[in-house]
A and B are shown apart, each in its own frame.
Chain A
Amino acid sequence: MKDKLLALRDEALSRLGDSDLEVWRIEYLGKKGELATVLRGMATLSAEERPVVGQYANEVRAVLEEAFAARKAELESHQAALREKTETIDVTLPGRTPFLGAEHPLRKVIRRIEDIFIGLGFTVEDGPEVELDRYNFEALNLPKDHPARDMQDTFYLTEEILLRTHTSPVQARTLERRCPETPIRIVVPGRVYRRDDDDATHSHAFMQIEALVVDHGIRMSDLKGILLQFARDLFGADQEIRLRPSFFPFTEPSAEMDIRCIYCHGDGCSTCKHTGWIEILGCGMVHPHVLEAGGYDTSSLTGFAIGMGVERIAMLSYQVEDIRQFYLNDVRLLEQFATLTR
């Protein structure tokens, strides 16, 4: 019996390599297979022999099952290898890249600036582009016949209706609407118009973004603090700013803000005209006439305003040389912004 089992084991193992695996399994391990047949003969054995042979038979079964599993794995792995071989592709071929959309650089800059001010507690306000003379000029301390509101520089639609020349009328509208509410903290992006012939640095339509704060106890030093924060958020944590006196009809005192040249870091280059500084924006303490026009009490309230040209910041940030590029919308340029992370 034992010899029979041994012979059966050896035969089965020797045939495993060249048999169909399932046929082999049925033949040797199946319910009606060779091993089962041998085991069925155990009934004829004596009570002493039976456990010994039984254990032996189990060992043979274990060996065969193990051999079967190993062979099965071997064949499967071989088949997988064959399939992979036929399925092999050139992984260096380009992928099916979806078109990469991109935000327009001017919108990108506006969003960044909006987000900086939102983080500082400002709400974003809009206003009409087609404005009334009253809001664009008069309420902003630019009375009729002020040289700065020249017919030459403004697109008029009628005598009283014009295309706003700056985003500041939204200041006037907000003050008028919210008076006497405080604090006012708004940021206003938008398109503005000047009667300029288009060239590398001028456009008859361009974007501005401005901020306005009105509250009790607002100081020019607060303006400087916000500007420093803003400049560092926008141009890097090590940015420095410089304020220089300037003039705007709707602020007093007024200032221009320069940042350290972002190209030469202050060493002097052609962009900063070798001064180490680049002019970025205008700002100042809200002129009392503007607060008064909005109905606010100038003896107890002060405020500051900041205004900047979006194109200028975009030109500096992305090294675009000609403002008209932003409005030509050459997709070869615009597509590059899909890969610019800021």
Chain B
Amino acid sequence: MKITWNWLSQYVDLQGLTPQQVAEDLTNAGIPVESLAPVAAGVENVVVGHVKSAEQHPNADRLRVCTVAVGAAEDLTIVCGAANVAAGQRVPVALVGARLPQGPIGKSTLRGVASEGMICSASELGLDVRLLPKDQTTGIFVLPADAPVGESIVEYLELSDMVMELELTPNRSDCLSLRGVAYEVAALYGREVSIKAPELRTPPQDKLPLTVEVATDRCMAYSAQVVSGLSLRPSPLWMQMRLLAVGVRPINNIVDITNYVMFEWGQPLHAFDYNAIAGGHIIVRDAQRDEALVTLDGQTRALEPAMTVIADPEKALGLAGVMGGESSEVTANTRAVVIESALFDPLQTRRTGKRLQLRSEAGTRFEKGIDPAVTLPALARAVELLCEYGGGAIASGPRLAGAALADANTGHDAVRQVAVRAARATAVLGFTVDAGQILSVCERLQFAAREENGTVLVDVPSRRPDIRIEEDLIEEIARLIGYDHIPATMIVGSLTAGGLSNEQQLTRMATDHLIALGMQQVVTYSFVSPTVAERMRLQPDDELSRMIPLLHPLSEERSVLRTMMLPSLLEVAEYNVNRRQLDLRLFEIGTVYLSESLPLQKQPTERRVIAGLLIGQVQAPSPHGESRSVDFFDVKGMVESLLKRIGVDAAAQYTRSRAPFLHGGQSADISAAGSQVGLIGKLHQEACADFGMELTDAFYFELSVEALLPLIRERLHVVELPRFPGTLRDLALVVNRALPVSELLTAVRSVAGPLLDDVRVFDVYTGEHVGIEEKSVALRLSFRSRERTLTDEDLQQPMAAVLDALTIAYGASLRA
């Protein structure tokens, strides 16, 4: 919402205030002033001139030599290149020494004729030419014939008037009018508001009859009056300049007046050509199915019963509150208009506007709600201006219909009574507020109020629909006393222990650990393309293929909720690889969204997943020898250390994974204590290639936070150190090459007896010294007793048991 300082000063006393100060105080009172700037800056020494003659330049076809009176003793000779310059015009003249936004004007000689200044165009004066009619922006800016010769153009066009742009919060729709802002400024400084509503007038007899009928409950008030004898012409220049300043395109006197009154009162108005209304009868009704209307913009609109139309007995004339119809548009031949001032259902207006993708200043105001008290004053004001600036005369009495006007007719504003207790205000705000202060705030707001035992009863006028409950008034009190008056205190009350949940603690610990291992945390979007299912080689019936679609996505690329983290990380990898960042160690603790069925019946399950993706070298390049590529066991080691770090007690099992996006021979499902907690592996070549990494080996892991949580041990004590030395025994066993080593280890643990402390693999060999189908696995068993030092005899039985068991179960033999 834009307003201008001069315009505002018409309705509220601004004596002794500056625009800068008011802008700052409005901002501090909750009406932020987004910008403050003159209508046009940098214009000096430009005056209104009278073109006495315009002769052909002797040496140039396109130039004219003009004699221009500027209110000085001597007329000026000015060479002008504009095609539209003509004798008799009033024009803006930049005198020698003038300043324009583009630069200073000096004396010049054009093709041998000295020019003592310049006749200016609108854009040269710094005006927003996008909003001006074309005939005013091609060539020089021709002023009205009554423009006073010699007057400064800055004064005449009010170019130094300050334009304020207000950034209104949705509750302050009252400030979508000069009237509302005037009340606000008046409240800030305790000033008077002087906005007078003219009376509606009724002629002795109707020259042009009009009747109105409201046949829908989506129109709360409808008022209209006929004005005839109009001549369509530009509106007065001051009105055009003001509309221009607030961002409205001046069109003609009738349209400009409706817009001007809308800015003044906040009430959108519409003018219909009287002759287009069959029988002089207006009906406000719901649109019919299959009804169509050609709107002002020339488009044919298919109407629906959910829309409200203004109609005559034969046809729809316009969409209520949204846009008028072409058939009743005001044209050059229009002599009589019906001016409409009405209250339409905000929701209907919003929905219809959205449905037809029509947004307008009027629509915005209807959507946010209009003060019912201004319907009639706005109508009267428009009629008054049409008579004054359109040459019109009232041709019918005002016609009123609708429920809301029943109240308005009583001559009273609809008011709401809200009570506010001084004690409550004090308790909520944290500084003492007494009834006297509340009464004073109400006076500034021009709300009638009276006190009863510390409670102030406030009559809130209809112009402030945002004030409904006590807290609303407490905000008004705080706002007008000033938020800077609120002290800073600390909460008084019982102490509470702050902290993280177990899950939050786990994710923080995992984050810190992975970062310490050199991993880079990323944050990716939850929306992905539905094509990722196929790109991840998922079967259509895979649960991970069941991605929840958005009803109205912004793009196909981000139209479903992800069920897995991998595509998000691959997208990041692709972005970085394209920028020649080839060593990537990425992780994210992100959310995936899993639904039981589609279409969605209830909220999906949101799972937090720790996911990592690694490509490239294990170490940053250095001059100290060869690095190598990341492999499966680098990543597995990372996962193992992470599980330890976060306190997972149970031993993790790694079994071959069937995940379609992983390499069949280098991938594993990770489980612990009988349930799957994640997976790990080299990516399937196709999955990589699909993200632009054809020749890259990428390794991925993911762990479900939900699955890990119950595995975290509660124990918070250490294990006592052994007092007796342990004994080591190594075994080199030849077994079948396909045998998972984890099975050997499990078997050793189960048969070696209570003295076994630990068993590890320290070498795996394949090659010429063993058979082609075989491998040699070297195990180191560590035995220890808590009571004594072990002897060789102590170990004979356990070692024999291990060897027997492995020979029987896996055909293992001792390596020669």
| Cβ contact within 8 Å between A245 and B524 | no
B30 beta carbon closer than 8 Å to chain A: yes
Contact A220 B498 (CB under 8 A): no
- Considering only CB atoms, which chain A residue lies closest to B508 in the complex? A111
Indicate if the CB atoms of B524 and A221 lie closer than 8 Å. no
Is the pair B523, A329 in contact by a Cβ cutoff of 8 Å? yes
- Asked if A124 and B499 sit within 8 Å, CB to CB, the answer is yes
Q: Which of A19-27, A40-48, A78-86, A115-123 contacts B (4 or more CB under 8 A)?
A: A115-123
Chain A residue numbers with a CB within 8 Å of B695 are: none
Are B623 and A157 in touch, CB under 8 angstroms? no
CA distance in complex: A121, B491 (Å)? 11
- Do B486 and A243 touch (CB < 8 A)? yes
Q: Is A327 an interface residue (CB 8 A)?
A: yes
Measured between alpha carbons, how far is A205 from B558 in the docked complex, in Å?
11
**Do residues B489 and A124 form an inter-chain contact, with CB atoms below 8 A?**
no
The answer to whether A224 touches B498 (Cβ under 8 A) is no
* Residues of A206-262 contacting chain B, CB below 8 A: 213, 215-222, 224-229, 242-247, 252-255
B-side contacts of A158, CB under 8 Å: 551, 599-600
In angstroms, Cα B597 to Cα A158, docked, is 13
Known contacts A130-B561, A329-B572: A101-B519 contact under CB 8 Å: yes
Query: Which residue of B428, B486, B550, B572 is within 8 Å of A156 (Cβ)?
Result: B550
**Complex: A80 Cα to B32 Cα, angstroms:** 78
Q: How far is the CA of A102 from the CA of B552 in the complex (A)?
A: 36
- Complex contact A224–B486 (CB within 8 A): yes
- Residue on A nearest B618 in the bound complex, by CB: A99
Pair A245/B514 contact, Cβ less than 8 Å: no
C-alpha spacing A222/B487, complex, angstroms = 8
- Chain B residues with CB below 8 A from A123, complex form: 496-501
Q: Contacting chain A: which of B37-45, B194-202, B477-485, B784-792?
A: B477-485
Q: Which of A5-13, A28-36, A89-97 contacts B (4 or more CB under 8 A)?
A: A89-97
Also in contact, A252 and B561, with CB within 8 A (given A120-B498, A132-B603, A332-B581) = no
Chain A residues in 8 Å Cβ range of B185: none
Q: Tell me whether B493 and A217 are in contact (CB under 8 A).
A: yes
With A147-B368, A222-B491, A302-B428 as given contacts, are A100 and B347 in contact (CB-CB < 8 Å)?
Answer: no
Judge whether B478 and A220 touch: CB under 8 Å: yes
B491: contacting residue among A117, A124, A205, A213, CB under 8 A: A213
User: B356 contacts the other chain (Cβ, under 8 Å)?
Assistant: no
Q: Closest approach, in angstroms, between the C-beta of A220 and any C-beta of chain B?
A: 5
Please classify the interface of chain A as helix (H, G, I), strand (E, B), loop, or mixed, using the class held by over half of its residues. mixed
B413: min CB distance to chain A, Å: 23
Contact status B489-A221, CB under 8 Å: yes
A195 CA to B527 CA, complexed, in Å: 12
Q: Is B746 an interface residue (CB 8 A)?
A: no
Tell me if B493 and A215 are in contact (CB < 8 A).
yes
Contact of A221 among B347, B430, B474, B549 (CB under 8 A): B430
| Complex contacts, B551 vs chain A, CB 8 Å | 155-158
Do residues A100 and B169 form an inter-chain contact, with CB atoms below 8 A?
no
Q: Taking CB as reference atom, which chain A residue is nearest B367?
A: A147
Query: Which residue of the partner chain, among A95, A156, A254, contacts B622 with CB atoms under 8 Å?
Result: A95
- Shortest C-beta distance, B1 to chain A (Å), equals 15
Residue interface bits A307-342, CB-to-B below 8 A is 1, else 0: 000000000000000000011111110110000000
B172–A247 CB distance below 8 A: yes
Shortest Cβ gap from B693 to chain A (Å): 15
CA distance A327 to B590 in the complex (A): 13
B17 CB-CB contact with A under 8 Å:
no
Q: Residue of B at shortest CB range from A207?
A: B523
B51 interface hit (Cβ, 8 Å):
no
Residue in A106, A118, A225 with the greatest tally of chain B CB atoms within 10 Å: A225
Q: Are B483 and A244 in contact (CB-based, < 8 A)?
A: yes
How many residues from A make CB contacts under 8 Å with B? 87
B504 interface residue per 8 A CB criterion: yes
Q: In the complex, A114→B548 CA distance in Å?
A: 31
Q: Are B524 and A329 in contact (CB under 8 A)?
A: yes
Whose C-beta in chain A lies nearest to the C-beta of B347?
Answer: A145
> Which residue from A111, A124, A195, A252 sits with its C-beta under 8 Å from B552?
A195
Chain A 148-163: CB-based contact to B (< 8 A → 1; otherwise 0): 1001100111100101
Measured in the bound complex, the distance between the Cα atoms of B170 and A121 in whole Å is 34
Nearest-Cβ distance from residue A214 to partner chain B, whole angstroms: 11
Which A-chain residue is minimally distant from B477 (CB atoms)?
A253
* Contact between B603 and A131, CB atoms less than 8 A apart: yes
> With the chains together, A246 CA to B600 CA distance in Å?
37
Distance in Å from the Cβ of A248 to the closest Cβ of chain B?
Answer: 9
Q: Which residue of A lies closest to B514 (CB)?
A: A101
| Cα distance A302–B261 in the bound complex, in angstroms | 43
Q: Are B575 and A330 in contact (CB under 8 A)?
A: yes
Is there a chain B Cβ closer than 8 Å to A204's Cβ? yes
Question: Which B residue's beta carbon lies closest to that of A116?
Answer: B498
Select B511's contact among A103, A161, A243, A254, beta carbons within 8 Å: A103
Tell me which residues across on chain A come within 8 A of B270, comparing CB atoms.
none
Query: Shortest CB–CB separation between residue A149 and chain B, in angstroms?
Result: 11
Asked whether any CB of chain B lies closer than 8 Å to the CB of A15, the reply is no
CA distance A72 to B581 in the complex (A): 57
Residue of A nearest to B426 (CB): A219
The CA-CA distance from A79 to B795 in the complex, in Å, is 47
Query: Is there a chain A Cβ closer than 8 Å to B591's Cβ?
Result: yes
Contact assessment for A252 and B472 in the assembled complex, using a CB-CB cutoff below 8 Å = yes
Chain B CB within 10 Å, residue with most, of A111, A152, A287, A328: A328
| A-contact bits for B575-616, CB 8 A (1 contact / 0 none) | 110010101111010010100000110111010000000000
A126 at the A/B interface (Cβ < 8 Å)? yes
Q: Is B427 an interface residue (CB 8 A)?
A: yes
The answer to whether B415 has its CB under 8 Å from any CB of chain A is no
Q: Are A148 and B576 in contact (CB under 8 A)?
A: no
Interface centre among A130, A151, A163 (most CB of B within 10 A): A130
Q: Which residues of A contact B575 (CB under 8 A)?
A: 328-330
Chain B residue with minimal CB distance to A219?
A: B430
Tell me the B529-576 residues at the A interface (CB within 8 Å).
Answer: 548-554, 558, 561, 572, 575-576
**Cα distance A151–B561 when bound, in Å?**
18
Are A302 and B508 interface neighbours, CB within 8 A? no
A243 to B431, CA, bound (A): 15
Decide if A221 touches B527 in the complex (CB within 8 Å). no
A-chain residues with CB within 8 Å of residue B523 when the two chains form the complex:
104, 106-107, 326-327, 329
Whether A228 contacts B488 in the complex (CB less than 8 A), given A129-B526, A253-B474, comes out as: yes
Chain B residues with CB below 8 A from A254, complex form: 475
Q: Report the minimal beta-carbon distance from A106 to chain B, rounded to whole angstroms.
A: 5
Are A183 and B496 in contact (CB-based, < 8 A)?
A: yes
User: Which residues from 236 to 289 on chain B have a C-beta closer than 8 Å to any C-beta of chain A?
Assistant: none
- Nearest B-chain residue to A328, judged by Cβ: B575
Q: How far is the CA of A41 from the CA of B171 in the complex (A)?
A: 121
A87 at the interface (CB under 8 A from B): no
Residue of A nearest to B479 (CB): A245
B516 proximal to A (CB < 8 A): yes
Contacting pair A99 B488 (CB below 8 A): no
Shortest CB-to-CB span from A221 to chain B, Å, is: 3
Beyond known contacts A124-B504, A221-B429, A327-B524: 19 more, CB 8 A cutoff: A99-B583, A101-B520, A104-B522, A107-B523, A117-B498, A148-B170, A183-B496, A191-B526, A204-B525, A216-B493, A220-B486, A224-B486, A243-B486, A244-B30, A254-B475, A302-B427, A330-B576, A334-B522, A335-B520
Contact sample, A vs B, 8 pairs, CB 8 Å cutoff = A96-B624, A101-B585, A103-B521, A120-B498, A123-B498, A130-B593, A243-B484, A253-B479
Residues of B within 8 A of A (CB): 27-30, 32, 169-172, 347, 350, 354, 367-368, 427-431, 466, 469, 471-472, 474-475, 478-479, 483-484, 486-501, 503-504, 508, 511, 514-527, 548-554, 558, 561, 572, 575-576, 579, 581, 583-586, 588, 591, 593, 599-600, 602-604, 606, 619-620, 622-624
User: Top 9 closest A-B pairs, CB basis?
Assistant: A221-B430, A245-B30, A99-B518, A219-B430, A253-B475, A247-B169, A101-B515, A118-B498, A121-B496
